[in-house]
Amino acid sequence: MKQRRLQNKKVIVTGASSGIGESIVWQIAASGGIPLLIARSTAKMQEQCDKIKQTFNTDCYYYTCDLSNKNEMMRTADLLLQDHPIIDGLINNAGFGKFQLVEEISMQDVESMFQVNVISLIHFTKMLLPHFQQNQQGHIVNIASQAGKISTPKSAVYAATKHAVIGFTNSLRMETAKDHIFVTAVNLGPVDTNFFTQADPKGAYKKNVGRYMLDPNRVANRVTRNLFKQKREINMPGWMEAGSRLYHVFPSMMEKLLETQFNKK
C-alpha cells in the first residue's frame, strides 16, 4: 500500500541484495518510494530492480560497492550525489557478525566486523550528511541490534560493534536536530535471514532460537512505516526490549541468565 510520506522519496539502502535490506527495498517501492540499492552483488541488485520496475512501475537504481573498501565507498557516494539532486533517506543496513569466544576469534574478523559494521557506516553517513543538512531534511536509519543493548556470550565483538552504532546514532540525533534530520536506531533480535550462515556456521544458535526469529518482511514493514517520522528507536521483538530494560535494572541477575542461555551458540 502506498504511503503519502514516501511518495517519490529516494531512499538509499545498503546491504540491499539480501535479507532485511532486500525486504526493505521492496517495501519502499510498494509504498511509493524510489529505492537506491547498494551491495556487492550486481546481478542480484539488477534482478531486484528489474522485478521492482515491472511490479510497481517505478524507478529503481543500484550501485555496486564493497563498503569495506574506502575508495569504492567514496566513489559510490559521489555517484549517488551526482545522479540524484535530492536524496531523502539513508538506511545503513549492511553488516555481519561472527559468534565466537574472544579467545577464539581472529583479529582479522574483529577488524573486518568493526570496518563494515561501524567505520563504514560512520564514513558513509558522514559523506551524505552535508546533502541532508543543505536540504534541511532527511532521515538516517541505522540497523543496530538488541546485542547493542544486551551483551551475550560468544558475541563480544559483534555486540561491541552494535553498542558503537547505537552510541553514534544517539549522538548524531542530537547533533542534527537543528537541521530537521530524523535519526533512528533499529534494534533487532534474531532475524530469519542468511546472516547466520556466516555468524554461526554450525547452526546451533539458529536451532536454539528458531522459534523466536523475526520475519524479515515484518521488520521491513515496521521500518518503512516509520520512515520520515521522528522515531527515536524501533525495538523488535517487544519481549527482548523488555529484557534489555531489566538488564539495566538487574544486571547481575540477567547476566547469570544470559550466560546459561546464550552459551549454546
- Please give the positions annotated as active site: 158
Contact 250, 150 (CB under 8 A): no
Strand order in 61-64's β-sheet? Answer: 61-64, 34-39, 10-14, 89-92, 138-143, 181-188, 233-236
Q: 126, exposed or middle or buried, with CB in 10 Å at 0-12, 13-18, 19+?
A: exposed
Neighbours of 104 (CB within 10 A): 9
Q: Cell numbers for 225, please give them.
A: 512505516
Q: How far apart are CA 168 and CA 146, in angstroms?
A: 15
Rounded to 5°, angle at Cα 153 from 148 and 154: 95
